[in-house]
Amino acid sequence: MEKRTRTALVTGAASGIGAAVALALGRAGDDVVIAAVDRDAEALRGTVAKLAAAGVRAEGYVCDVTDAARVASVVDEVENRLGPVESLVNAAGVLRTGAVADPDSDFGDEDWDALFSVNAKGVFHVSRAVVRHMTARRRGAIVTVASNAAGTPRHGMAAYAASKAAAAMFTKSLGLEVAPYGIRCNVVAPGSTDTPMLSSMWTERTTVRSTIEGSLDTFKLGIPLGKLGRAEDVAQAVAFLLSEQAGHITLHELTVDGGATLGR
């Protein structure tokens, strides 16, 4: 019997965790096709090229997840060109840090809006567009990549943490809505992961070593496993939650942070 093609749509696929997820899912079977979505056209071409070199069928779609109309159009195009979207991974995200109470902080309204537009509203736009197709077929799985900061306060990350908490709770509540249709919705919450997003936070005082060891000044625990996470570590957790092995798991949040939040 001919295998049914399984389409996985991954946002934020141009780099970091999103790119690692796309590669992990693509390698999961020769019947998987990847719809890689990102607003960075050049970097997205690089991801698609890596997927092709690994023998994975993939197509790139340039899309800003904050644009609801464009998101709906891309999802429709993916469905028509590549087949029914069986798996969705919301990995698109942005990071902006800064104190919100300090009058001398350069963190402003535009930073707050940018974080919520991508990290929360973007998850809403893409999930809504995909789940409307999934409900008609009564199958599918969604994973949103949030952050361990969504459940543990972090100094200088109030807005980022709030946006990720919103994305996580949206995903779980959506999962309750669509459970009668056989659709599972879960969350993966990474901690400090070796990606360009993490390195963008480092200064002369905050480096790999201080990230691993923690900081008493900012009430941040270190990482018990003594190492940064890898994008591939997060990708494997995502792949598991999308797989049949996790067929009875929904509304769950899987933390991948080397123990940094002490298994909260």
Rounded to whole angstroms, how far apart are CA atoms 35 and 31?
13
CA atoms within 13 A on the CB side of 155: 9
Catalytic residue IDs:
160
CA-based nearest residue to 127, from 32, 11, 41: 11
Rounded to whole angstroms, how far apart are CA atoms 236 and 243?
10
Rounded to whole angstroms, how far apart are CA atoms 44 and 39?
8
CA-based nearest residue to 58, from 17, 88, 23: 23
Whose tokens are 């893409």? That residue is 126
- Reduce the DSSP state of residue 63 to 3 states and report it: coil
Helix or strand run (H / E) with residue 82: helix 68-82
> What is the CA angle 222-154-213, rounded to 5?
15
The answer to whether the beta carbons of residues 45 and 58 sit under 8 Å apart is: no
CA-based nearest residue to 123, from 12, 15, 47, 240: 12
Whose tokens are 């060109």? That residue is 81
Number of residues assigned to the chain: 264
Rounded to whole angstroms, how far apart are CA atoms 172 and 195?
26
DSSP-assigned beta bridge partners for residue 60: 36
